[in-house]
Structure 1
């Protein structure tokens, strides 16, 4: 049933990448005596095929290629690809997503990129609401290759495959043993890394057993250890007053500050004394509207990048029960520990009575914002457990038919413990004891112990998945047999988020979140057909029908054409409809609090501040789920060519167009402020009851801004993918060149929820293109690998303009193109293993700073935050 020569050709193509992958079919067909070629399954279709290149563009990157680029994890590898345009997430200290890493193809959002493992849907992270996969859970040492489908694929895989699909293919037929170790050390403080892995495999004529263990660690980066994140207090305008946020970095007003009922701000009369006696307090600062606040430097103690420690085990088995029936099984277990640190809890007491012990103003209804330094720094420890099991049968019957039946179970258990948070119950108890015969003394050990509490969250996602499908040939056209695939699958997902009782009751300061739980099941049937109309023309179609237990049903079709006018040229096109089901978190999330950074254009206008000079503020926000959400709907069009007519040269060019209607999104605080600035806030508040933004007479935000998830936004992505490769053999060694570029010609989104749409290509954090150039040189026992990651120039400033009923952002003051070089050299000894020395971010490309010297904290510039990193590794295989 297998043609070993063709299999070898496929493996060679995967090793060499795009240049030779386009030629696999030619190699296979040219083998003399090859009576029957092996068909392989490529991401984007369930019908196996001979050609690596088909109607949908698929970028295949082997683990060897990622290793040559110096990537240390699956997340690092995928976040570096050019189609991950913007919007991915890396471990960030102290947040609910502290241990998470995601990918966002075309910048369309992490929940619009479907992640598969061996062609089956990867269970979503419970910390991300079950809607996006946590790449940190996949052991890099277990990966054979990664296939990136740059096309919509809901007709094949169902929900979430809107912007593309990432299929992580794990090792299955490994034979022998290998040991790997690598140590990395940046020049700047923090982010030290260690990696160790082992792989074992045994094969026989009946099957194979593979075992992989992977261990990785990286230390945190603290704010104080970078010049651009450490505490900064600068009187930039020379007026003798340092203004909070406008002229500070790493400083918060939530320390000892009061807001009177009229909206005016005033610092505690003890503020300057606290700055002399309590670490972190920086004294009295000004505000943009003429008030004063008490500043606290959270940057002195907080970490911005969390530490990580990952341990993963993967084992797989294949066993031939008969000549026509194979059993396969896989188990993947992982544990990810992460540590993050925040400053002591900041928590407000709103509407204080005039005689409240902490109300220095003596005015009824005053709001107090305090830093509860007495309880110490907030330390967050996250432990993610993931279990993923699969067992199935693959078999053959008749002349052409193949079938597969599989059961897949995943259980993700993420636990987060936060120490030294504020107990509001303990605070109330202390206040009550002030009037006792034996009162508690403020600041005493007993007083402080009563203030501290530990928060605990358990996020769980459990997935049960049953899959079955059969492929067969039936009917014949001029170009050959018509290939069919019929399948069905069933998903059962249960998502739970359980907070400790004190947090759920709202009795914890400096924390946010409430318990939520939900369950859904999904039934799907699908059909795919590939029709060889001519010897050089294949027309394919697919249709999938999904039925959800909680919101309804959705059917999605796709149509594809691949035409080869000559052997070396492939012309391809595809049209597909897609959808994304609302996540359980979006449907069922309980209210949770946050303090988002926003531009308050209305307040700035009232203060006489020009829009371009408006600085960010952080109002309190209460976010809500919405049980009435419907699905998003999308259309993806792709058209391109693949040319391999030049020897050792590969050329691929594809145009893509993605449009998403009825987008599910959070109506953010910034949306409401933009709508208010445009004069249409009341329209949104009337259309979506419960969404609300109020102000004091002086323009300050009053109380809590309430928001929720809704359908109604619009999003589009249009662009080009260009993939060039060249292989050159010389008497001085072999050179391999590869350049992949993703151009975003249009990145259209709403200016505010339900408002006018605008093209954001080139806006902050939205580069118009990303490119990656790799040069590999090898001679004898030496290999040198140079990789250059390039991010196009982006605007530094964005300002919302309102004129003649036209609402749009104006972008200006562009940052330069961001270029990072990575270099490593390998020496292959004779029987003693391989030595590796390398440098990530060779020329120490720094972070991007704005004109005021503030850090532009975007994931696309993440290499600069770590800085130049030396690393060394050793591998030996038997």
Structure 2
């Protein structure tokens, strides 16, 4: 029976492609006439098994498949996976994660998806506050396959495995030499790509050595090079005025604008017309309107920041990986791996925008003759450039062996060191500005400009030291077979050190914000897993893991799984697991930092008689801090599934899942505080979190928000994963069809912190489903791969309203259409002269999504439209 199952598993894997590389690399073949079969380890369990399909759904995708879809990097490959529903991060100019790429299974957040490399936890990115992994550091050329566990797995792997696990399996037994090069060029300006990789491998009866070098580069996209992000203004309603926001794109009131502290709306600088004529970027006086209660009425002096800013940052990655596997004896193997990567990123922003509060009546920059606030664009310093360099080192050294008839053991040491550095050019030195004013130095003179220019610098470092020991064995026997066990222990030591330059941390830099954070923790964990073969076709598995954290205590998590095969071609499976996410070191230890988030002030709008739907957003001043009293998030994950392969060359997989997360760690944002105040619960929240506050000026507008991290929110995800595959052999070639769909039936989120939970599926950037359809055609020396990615339609807008004393709740309006893109990849395998590739990403040049007012929706899930149609060509030769 075992031989029959393995043969069928291999045949299906080869037919459908999704797991072919995995099967070939970790072959589950049985020697003819032997009683035992070599077992394999699949993500989600440490007990090796015979069958690829088990109690937890695992999607296995080879690098060849990602390349066939035209994906450029590991990050872009994973961002196309349907279970990565929404919420992942891409390199975006102008934020602290400029060089980062993440994955967010089920849209639960990058910090709730655990990323492994060869089964070992990846080091957390310091730029992501130590709460997520940066996929940009993984060399695509070194990857053999990626296993995506769609189940909770804290009972196996510990923290962060709440929404699932990504396990990146690297090449280990490559033999020969391979060179690969590819270039891509979008039709629109920007985002050109270049790739080059080399792989070398030598193997013998005793082991193998593999070396891979990978270079990837993508150029930036500037706002001015896309019509929908380029700065523009137009009197669309014909009232003779151009209203900021409603009738402008890429323009800010941070030009030279004032507001009296005694009350009233915005006032454009008397010099605005002169600045517009003489200084590039200034666009003149714009109407702020009395209907903009969330911002304030009046007039502003506008500045077109989009004339110079980059929308998508550039990335340049150089990575190298070397691995060794060597059999010291028949029962003892040494393995080692070293991986190095450097990721450089460039972003450009307009000259610094900075707020000067409560300027005295006689202050030289205050033209109003009474105390006022000023919103300035410090054009004198020049455009800001952000240069990020990420270094990552990752080492693994281990031994594994066997003793007795069934026992297998492993010990290993894993170290990851991440060193991320950010330099910001041409920011505003507040001290230099004060020096100019005190000494009557003209701000527009060369001396004055030099005095005001500042360079910011941030060092973000994290380290992970990881010791692992595990033992798998069979002990005890039931009628259907032996009971399998796995017992082990892990020790982690984690550090985070994020340091901003002293001037920035002191609040003396205009146009930048941030606060240092540092912390250290160690974690000791023990775990146990067991599999009972209750019947020949029924297996019950259970696991338990206890993690002891030095900074907040212990957490234990169980899991129970069942897989049942009533017939060879049918698998029924079910699982229940509990999980947790430890608060990140930055969330626990962050120092106070300033920010200017956008806020829709429903409270002030209501006071002015403006409806919630018409209430506009504006920037508010925010002071944010960490919380050393945070506890862990806690979760439960339930899965029921069926796998059927009874039809010739057909596979059907359907899984239903439910994820519930309590005590979610989140920032009590300035927007949350508006909702809390609107619900009449601000004093109640302040009694629990004394630091949080929302200060308002005499006109009712927000003058200062105080926010911090806290436990207390909740989250849920429910839905289906559907995977259908079919192979068709014809006289004129072979076809492989596959469709994978993730359907969310519930996206439970709190409307605001302490507010009610609502189902937000279909909300903006929260599609109800994502689907991917692939067709592979092979004939003679040619293959053609066609991939279609589909994102469901969503509502256009989401606002929070309060009616007749009710709790504030979500109201949705408008519709954004279903979004469909196609990728085409054609390959020709010449006889002895290598492989030639030609293709197109976003073949039909699907554009970005616009709202009903004609404005571009800046959502990462629609990034293919921002890049546009991209033609690429490549060449590979192997020896």
TM score, norm. by length of structure 2: 0.96
Which residue of 2 is the match for residue 319 of structure 1? 326
Q: Could you give the per-residue CA deviations for residues 150-179 of structure 1, whole angstroms, max 9, x where no partner exists? A: 000000000000000000000000001111
Q: Could you give the per-residue CA deviations for residues 668-700 of structure 1, whole angstroms, max 9, x where no partner exists? A: 122112223333333323332111112223232
Mapping of 1:667-682 within 5 angstroms?
667-682=668-683
In structure 2, the CA distance between the partners of 1:12 and 1:324, relative to structure 1 (3 Å rule), is farther
Which residue of 1 is the match for residue 391 of structure 2? 385
CA contact (8 A) 2:733 2:779 kept: yes
Deviation at 1:806, TM superposition (A): 4.0
CA contact (8 A) 1:288 1:607 kept: no
Mapping of 1:214-253 within 5 angstroms?
214-253=214-253
Aligned residues: 867
Deviation at 1:19, TM superposition (A): 8.0
Aligned partners of 1:8 and 1:183: how far apart in 2?
40
CA contact (8 A) 2:129 2:584 kept: yes
1:346 corresponds, among 346, 353, 356, to 353
Which residue of 2 is the match for residue 306 of structure 1? 313
Mapping of 1:263-278 within 5 angstroms?
263-264=263-264, 265-278=266-279
Deviation at 1:6, TM superposition (A): 6.7
CA contact (8 A) 2:31 2:37 kept: no
Which residue of 2 is the match for residue 447 of structure 1? 448
Deviation at 1:395, TM superposition (A): 0.4
CA contact (8 A) 2:589 2:628 kept: yes
CA contact (8 A) 1:765 1:858 kept: yes
In structure 2, the CA distance between the partners of 1:558 and 1:368, relative to structure 1 (3 Å rule), is same
Which residue of 2 is the match for residue 557 of structure 1? 558
Deviation at 1:390, TM superposition (A): 0.5
Mapping of 1:600-611 within 5 angstroms?
600-611=601-612
Of stretches 381-390 and 589-598 in structure 1, the one that deviates more from structure 2 is 589-598
CA contact (8 A) 1:13 1:24 kept: no
Unmatched tracts of structure 1, length 5 or more: 435-439
Deviation at 1:742, TM superposition (A): 0.2
Which residue of 1 is the match for residue 257 of structure 2? 257
| 1:604 counterpart SS class | helix
| 1:526 counterpart SS class | strand
In structure 2, the CA distance between the partners of 1:426 and 1:831, relative to structure 1 (3 Å rule), is same
Which residue of 2 is the match for residue 464 of structure 1? 465
Do structure 1's residue 792 and structure 2's residue 792 form an aligned pair? yes
CA contact (8 A) 1:7 1:38 kept: no
1:398 corresponds, among 401, 404, 407, to 404
Deviation at 1:35, TM superposition (A): 3.2
In structure 2, the CA distance between the partners of 1:528 and 1:30, relative to structure 1 (3 Å rule), is closer
Mapping of 1:103-114 within 5 angstroms?
103-114=103-114
| 2:463 counterpart SS class | strand
Deviation at 1:247, TM superposition (A): 2.0
| 2:201 counterpart SS class | strand
| 1:612 counterpart SS class | coil
Aligned partners of 1:674 and 1:247: how far apart in 2?
27
Aligned partners of 1:424 and 1:813: how far apart in 2?
44
Of stretches 584-593 and 408-417 in structure 1, the one that deviates more from structure 2 is 584-593
Mapping of 1:709-724 within 5 angstroms?
709-724=709-724
Q: Could you give the per-residue CA deviations for residues 573-621 of structure 1, whole angstroms, max 9, x where no partner exists? A: 0000000000001001112222222322223333433222222212122
Aligned partners of 1:685 and 1:305: how far apart in 2?
39
Aligned partners of 1:288 and 1:167: how far apart in 2?
53
In structure 2, the CA distance between the partners of 1:30 and 1:322, relative to structure 1 (3 Å rule), is closer
Which residue of 2 is the match for residue 520 of structure 1? 521
| 1:338 counterpart SS class | strand
Q: Could you give the per-residue CA deviations for residues 116-174 of structure 1, whole angstroms, max 9, x where no partner exists? A: 00000000101001110000000000000000000000000000000000000000000
Aligned partners of 1:753 and 1:799: how far apart in 2?
15
Which residue of 1 is the match for residue 293 of structure 2? none
Aligned partners of 1:534 and 1:155: how far apart in 2?
25
Q: Could you give the per-residue CA deviations for residues 331-353 of structure 1, whole angstroms, max 9, x where no partner exists? A: 00000000000100011111111
Aligned partners of 1:643 and 1:716: how far apart in 2?
28
Aligned partners of 1:360 and 1:674: how far apart in 2?
36
In structure 2, the CA distance between the partners of 1:812 and 1:81, relative to structure 1 (3 Å rule), is same
Aligned partners of 2:181 and 2:448: how far apart in 1?
50
Deviation at 1:872, TM superposition (A): 0.4
1:427 corresponds, among 430, 433, 440, to 433
Aligned partners of 1:836 and 1:681: how far apart in 2?
60
Deviation at 1:506, TM superposition (A): 1.5
Deviation at 1:239, TM superposition (A): 2.2
| 1:611 counterpart SS class | coil
2:375 corresponds, among 359, 369, 376, to 369
Of stretches 507-516 and 651-660 in structure 1, the one that deviates more from structure 2 is 507-516
Aligned partners of 2:512 and 2:799: how far apart in 1?
32
Aligned partners of 1:15 and 1:75: how far apart in 2?
27
Q: Could you give the per-residue CA deviations for residues 841-870 of structure 1, whole angstroms, max 9, x where no partner exists? A: 011111111112211111111100000000
Deviation at 1:733, TM superposition (A): 0.4
Of stretches 613-622 and 220-229 in structure 1, the one that deviates more from structure 2 is 613-622
CA contact (8 A) 1:223 1:302 kept: yes
CA contact (8 A) 1:94 1:379 kept: no
Aligned partners of 2:776 and 2:376: how far apart in 1?
57
Aligned partners of 1:71 and 1:851: how far apart in 2?
31
CA contact (8 A) 1:22 1:52 kept: no
Do structure 1's residue 508 and structure 2's residue 531 form an aligned pair? no
Aligned partners of 1:110 and 1:820: how far apart in 2?
24
| 1:613 counterpart SS class | coil
Q: Could you give the per-residue CA deviations for residues 641-694 of structure 1, whole angstroms, max 9, x where no partner exists? A: 000111110100000000001110011122112223333333323332111112
| 2:190 counterpart SS class | coil
CA contact (8 A) 1:15 1:64 kept: no
Q: Could you give the per-residue CA deviations for residues 451-476 of structure 1, whole angstroms, max 9, x where no partner exists? A: 00100000000110000000000000
Deviation at 1:208, TM superposition (A): 0.2
Q: Could you give the per-residue CA deviations for residues 329-386 of structure 1, whole angstroms, max 9, x where no partner exists? A: 000000000000010001111111111111111213x111111100100001000000
Aligned partners of 2:582 and 2:797: how far apart in 1?
34
CA contact (8 A) 1:635 1:658 kept: yes
Aligned partners of 1:14 and 1:47: how far apart in 2?
24
User: What's the Cα RMSD here?
Assistant: 1.9
Deviation at 1:398, TM superposition (A): 1.1
Deviation at 1:399, TM superposition (A): 1.2
Which residue of 2 is the match for residue 437 of structure 1? none
